[in-house]
């Protein structure tokens, strides 16, 4: 048991140190880009004080904006958790798209297509959500299934093409993302999706019966999607570790030649993986629409499908790791909002922090050098293959 704990501690060392370094560098950038701080460059003590205050305020805002806000707590202890709930809301679709990318990594595939799959999930859920009148529960289920189904097909096309023709999934998924991005622009202009009385690309809101239940009342946006996302993470873990299908996925991902030699059908694995990945990203789209957005718009996917790649990398393609990475990104995004409005530090700095964290995790040798670590646990490197895979 003690051994196990030290093992976990060991495996957290690299992410932890990367985290610390990313925030240190971001802090330096914040200080140096603050004209008030730079105005005091003449006197070192004033300069440091001012820099400390600038960075401190920014990070305080980042914390208050993402975890717990004492000012909000004035109206009740529970209210103080509003930022944390926002973090969960932001993280929910990211967990699902992240799982989609992570699962693909496990099969040795690089799914850049979570973006497009997410879009189709959102389209399917939105259509069923606003078009039909169904009882609560059934309506949600129908909308979620519609989204997952469309997205599974969208992902499955990539898998099928790769399996049959050997075309590289990176190129296929990038192209499919383009198609999806323009498809949603187009479909939002069709009479079916256009809101009555409006010409801009915005679909009607989904009916009340199709909306995911809110968990903490209408004051908060936190919805049941977070449980769906956690269940999906559990599902992916179960699939990978306990089932024959997951076994095949991992075998092909770790060594497709040996898997093939032992009789595992690689085309089946590629197609099945991409379908499940599509369904996961599509579930993300469905949950996003049914849980927090309600109305489909052209920018519904934002950069969720692309952030998913970073999230999956950060989470080492492990389900639990992906959940934590998504929560971290969600916190940075929501906290960045407060940081922007309170201290004027632009939201973009959060993207810099995210990039730095991933950079340091991807370059463990560098972290090891900085902190003079003898040996870091950098095993279980991701087995995504190169362009010739």
Does the footprint of another protein cover residue 34 (CB under 8 A)? Answer: no
Does the footprint of another protein cover residue 10 (CB under 8 A)? Answer: no
Hey, is 382 helix, strand or coil?
coil
Residue 159 CB, nearest approach to another protein (Å): 18
Considering only the stretches 58-66, 137-145, 153-161, 353-361, report the one whose residues sit in contact with another protein under the rule CB under 8 A. 58-66
Residue 197 CB, nearest approach to another protein (Å): 3
Site for another protein in 292-321 (CB under 8 A): 292-293, 295, 297, 299-303
Judged by CB, which is closer to another protein: 4, or 196?
196
Residue 239 CB, nearest approach to another protein (Å): 9
Angle, helices 114-131 vs 169-187, to 10°: value is 30
Site for another protein in 191-250 (CB under 8 A): 195-202, 204-205, 218, 221, 242-245, 247-248, 250
CA distance 153 to 312: 22
Structure tokens at 362: 């991807």
Judged by CB, which is closer to another protein: 224, or 239?
239
Judged by CB, which is closer to another protein: 179, or 185?
185
Structure tokens at 374: 């003898």
CA distance 350 to 340: 10
φ/ψ bin of 198: left (φ > 0), alpha (ψ from -120 to 50), beta (otherwise) = beta
Does the footprint of another protein cover residue 72 (CB under 8 A)? Answer: yes
> In the set 34, 66, 69, 326, which binds another protein (CB under 8 A)?
69
User: CA 217 → CA 46, 220, 327, 334, distances in Å?
Assistant: 47, 6, 22, 20
Considering only the stretches 4-12, 136-144, 279-287, 366-374, report the one whose residues sit in contact with another protein under the rule CB under 8 A. 366-374
CA distance 198 to 125: 21
Residue 98 CB, nearest approach to another protein (Å): 16
CA distance 169 to 156: 11
Site for another protein in 148-187 (CB under 8 A): 185
CA distance 217 to 230: 21
> In the set 3, 4, 71, 76, which binds another protein (CB under 8 A)?
71
Does the footprint of another protein cover residue 8 (CB under 8 A)? Answer: no
Asked if residue 307 lies in contact with residue 94, where contact means CB atoms within 8 angstroms, the answer is: yes
> In the set 67, 134, 264, 359, which binds another protein (CB under 8 A)?
264
CA distance 307 to 356: 14
> In the set 14, 22, 82, 148, which binds another protein (CB under 8 A)?
82
Angle at 300 (CA atoms; ends 138, 234), nearest 5 degrees = 55
Judged by CB, which is closer to another protein: 157, or 356?
356
Does the footprint of another protein cover residue 52 (CB under 8 A)? Answer: yes
Residue 383 CB, nearest approach to another protein (Å): 8
Hey, is 15 helix, strand or coil?
helix
> In the set 7, 192, 341, 377, which binds another protein (CB under 8 A)?
341
Query: Token match 């969720």: residue?
Result: 304
Considering only the stretches 59-67, 133-141, 223-231, 314-322, report the one whose residues sit in contact with another protein under the rule CB under 8 A. 59-67
CA distance 264 to 252: 8
- Contacts with another protein by CB under 8 A: the residue count is 82
> In the set 191, 261, 386, 387, which binds another protein (CB under 8 A)?
261
Taking the CB of residue 346, how many other CB atoms lie within 10 A of it?
A: 14
- Please write down the long-range contacts of 82-88, taking CB distance under 8 Å and 24 or more positions apart: 82/219, 82/220, 83/334, 83/335, 83/338, 85/216, 85/220, 85/221, 85/222, 86/221, 86/222, 86/334, 87/327, 87/330, 87/331, 87/334, 87/335, 88/222, 88/226, 88/327, 88/330
Residue 137 CB, nearest approach to another protein (Å): 21
Residue 183 CB, nearest approach to another protein (Å): 13
Residue 374 CB, nearest approach to another protein (Å): 8
Structure tokens at 158: 């990539």
Asked if residue 49 lies in contact with residue 41, where contact means CB atoms within 8 angstroms, the answer is: no
Judged by CB, which is closer to another protein: 10, or 49?
49
């Amino acid at each position: 048991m003690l051994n196990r704990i030290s093992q976990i501690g060991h495996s957290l060392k690299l992410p932890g140190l990367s985290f610390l370094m990313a925030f240190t560098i971001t802090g330096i950038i914040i200080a140096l880009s603050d004209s008030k701080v730079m105005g005091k460059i003449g006197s070192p003590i004033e300069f440091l004080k001012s820099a400390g205050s600038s960075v401190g305020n920014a990070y305080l805002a980042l914390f208050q904006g993402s975890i717990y806000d004492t000012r909000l707590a004035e109206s009740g202890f529970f209210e103080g958790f509003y930022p944390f709930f926002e973090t969960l809301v932001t993280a929910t679709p990211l967990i699902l798209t992240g799982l989609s990318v992570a699962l693909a990594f496990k099969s040795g595939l690089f799914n850049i297509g979570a973006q497009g799959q997410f879009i189709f999930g959102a389209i399917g859920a939105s259509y069923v959500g606003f078009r039909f009148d169904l009882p609560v529960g059934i309506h949600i289920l129908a909308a979620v299934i519609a989204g997952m189904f469309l997205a599974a097909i969208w992902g499955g096309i990539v898998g099928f093409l790769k399996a049959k023709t050997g075309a590289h999934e990176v190129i296929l998924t990038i192209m499919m993302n383009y198609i999806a991005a323009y498809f949603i622009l187009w479909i939002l202009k069709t009479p079916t999706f256009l809101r009555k009385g409006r010409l801009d690309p915005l679909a009607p809101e989904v009916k009340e019966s199709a909306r995911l239940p809110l968990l903490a009342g209408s004051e908060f946006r936190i919805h049941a999607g977070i449980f769906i996302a956690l269940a999906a993470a559990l599902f992916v873990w179960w699939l990978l570790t306990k089932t024959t299908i997951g076994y095949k996925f991992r075998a092909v991902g770790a060594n497709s030649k040996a898997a093939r030699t032992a009789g595992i059908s690689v085309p089946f694995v590629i197609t099945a993986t991409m379908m499940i990945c599509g369904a996961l990203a599509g579930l993300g789209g469905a949950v996003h629409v049914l849980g927090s957005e309600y109305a489909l718009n052209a920018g519904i996917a934002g950069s969720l499908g692309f952030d998913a790649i970073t999230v999956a990398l950060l989470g080492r393609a492990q389900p639990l790791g992906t959940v934590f990475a998504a929560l971290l990104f969600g916190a940075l995004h929501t906290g960045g909002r407060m940081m922007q409005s309170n201290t004027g530090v632009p939201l973009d700095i959060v993207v810099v922090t995210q990039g730095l964290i991933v950079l340091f995790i991807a370059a463990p040798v560098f972290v090891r050098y900085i902190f003079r670590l003898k040996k870091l646990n950098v095993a279980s490197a991701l087995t995504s293959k190169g362009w010739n895979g």
